[in-house]
Chains A and B, each alone.
Chain A
Amino acid sequence: MRTILAALALTTALTLPGIAMARPVTLTTTLKNYGGNGAYLAIYVTDPTGAYAGSLWMAGTKSKYYEHLSDWYRATGGNAAEINGITGASVGAGRRLEITLDLADALFDAGYTVHIDAAAEDMRDSPDEITVPLTAKGAGQPVPGRRYIADFSYGL
């Protein structure tokens, strides 16, 4: 019986690391009180060469406004398939958006970068408002935005 348990423990210990290839990551974006309507935000990732790798979240559901998230739009052509299942409402001034996603481990410490493009009604578009490398060390470190975003951080 003991040998059975030992054998099971050994095989489980050997195989679990291979299966655990993703982790829950919380992206927190706090907006400034910029005095306007809700902001559209495109949160996406580029690979080590700077090429678009995929989207993580879209705040704002009206596709006709996506062209104002200009870097994201240039990379995707505004293709809705890129953001199916990861789209929610726009975010009001002064509010904090928290998104928890199950992200692949391979994204961390491998040269991938999170970007956020932002736009708000009757205010200037703000592409690449946030640019932050995905590293284990950078987790929990707030990064300030330029126009609409007070700060952004990701927690592992």
Chain B
Amino acid sequence: MKKTISILLASTALIAVIGIPAWSAMYGAGQFEGQHDAALGAFQAPGASPVLVSEDDGEDRDHERRLRRGDDDHEGDQEDDDDGGNASGPAPAGSVAPPSNGLFGTGAMPKVQVN
């Protein structure tokens, strides 16, 4: 009996040692609300209300804006976007772990396929 209890205690301690850091990695930066605050804080003045991503649920959001290759305000950029990014652009998938935004369970690399 003593042996069983000591095994239980040992395995529980082991799980705690493994589990607590894993839990902290996911939730350590705060629960989702905390992360939102942190993310939004970068783009908003203190005390401002959160930015709603879309204020209009209508089907007829008519956007005249168009993406043109000529809209070039960054001299020296290449026109082909399949070149793996540029100095000021984001790091391509596979080169670094996904951001720690609370959406990703682990730091596992995304898998992508285009057919």
Bound pair (A, B): yes
A127–B66 CA distance with the chains assembled, in angstroms: 12
A107–B115 CA distance with the chains assembled, in angstroms: 28
Q: How does the 8 Å CB contact mask read for A42-67 relative to B, with 1 for contact and 0 for none?
A: 00111101111111111011111100
Q: How does the 8 Å CB contact mask read for A6-27 relative to B, with 1 for contact and 0 for none?
A: 0110111001001101110000
Contacts A52-B51, A84-B99: A68 and B65 contacting too (C-beta < 8 A)? yes
Assess the B19–A18 pair: CB atoms within 8 A.
Answer: yes
Chain B residues near A65 (CB-CB < 8 A): 67, 71, 81
Contacts A38-B81, A50-B54, A101-B98: A146 and B15 contacting too (C-beta < 8 A)? no
A97 beta carbon closer than 8 Å to chain B? yes
Assess the A74–B53 pair: CB atoms within 8 A.
Answer: yes
- Name which residue of chain B comes closest to A25, CB basis: B105
- Name which residue of chain B comes closest to A105, CB basis: B105
A92–B115 CA distance with the chains assembled, in angstroms: 10
Assess the B53–A115 pair: CB atoms within 8 A.
Answer: yes
Assess the B53–A21 pair: CB atoms within 8 A.
Answer: no
Assess the A119–B3 pair: CB atoms within 8 A.
Answer: no
Chain B residues near A85 (CB-CB < 8 A): 90-99, 109-110
Assess the A90–B88 pair: CB atoms within 8 A.
Answer: no
Assess the B54–A127 pair: CB atoms within 8 A.
Answer: yes
Assess the B111–A100 pair: CB atoms within 8 A.
Answer: yes
B15, chain A: closest CB distance, angstroms = 4
- Name which residue of chain B comes closest to A84, CB basis: B91
A68–B114 CA distance with the chains assembled, in angstroms: 22
Contacts A50-B53, A77-B43, A88-B112: A121 and B103 contacting too (C-beta < 8 A)? no
Contacts A3-B4, A7-B4, A89-B114: A81 and B11 contacting too (C-beta < 8 A)? no
Assess the A61–B84 pair: CB atoms within 8 A.
Answer: yes
A98 beta carbon closer than 8 Å to chain B? yes
B65, chain A: closest CB distance, angstroms = 5
- Name which residue of chain B comes closest to A124, CB basis: B63
B98, chain A: closest CB distance, angstroms = 5
A45–B39 CA distance with the chains assembled, in angstroms: 13
- Name which residue of chain B comes closest to A90, CB basis: B81
Residues of B within 8 A of A (CB): 3-4, 7-8, 11-12, 15, 18-19, 22-23, 26, 32-33, 35-36, 39-40, 42-43, 50-54, 57, 59, 61-69, 71-74, 77, 81-86, 88-99, 101-106, 108-115
Residues of A within 8 A of B (CB): 3-4, 7-8, 10-12, 15, 18-19, 21-23, 38, 40, 44-47, 49-58, 60-65, 68, 70-72, 74-77, 79-92, 95-107, 115, 119-128, 131, 146
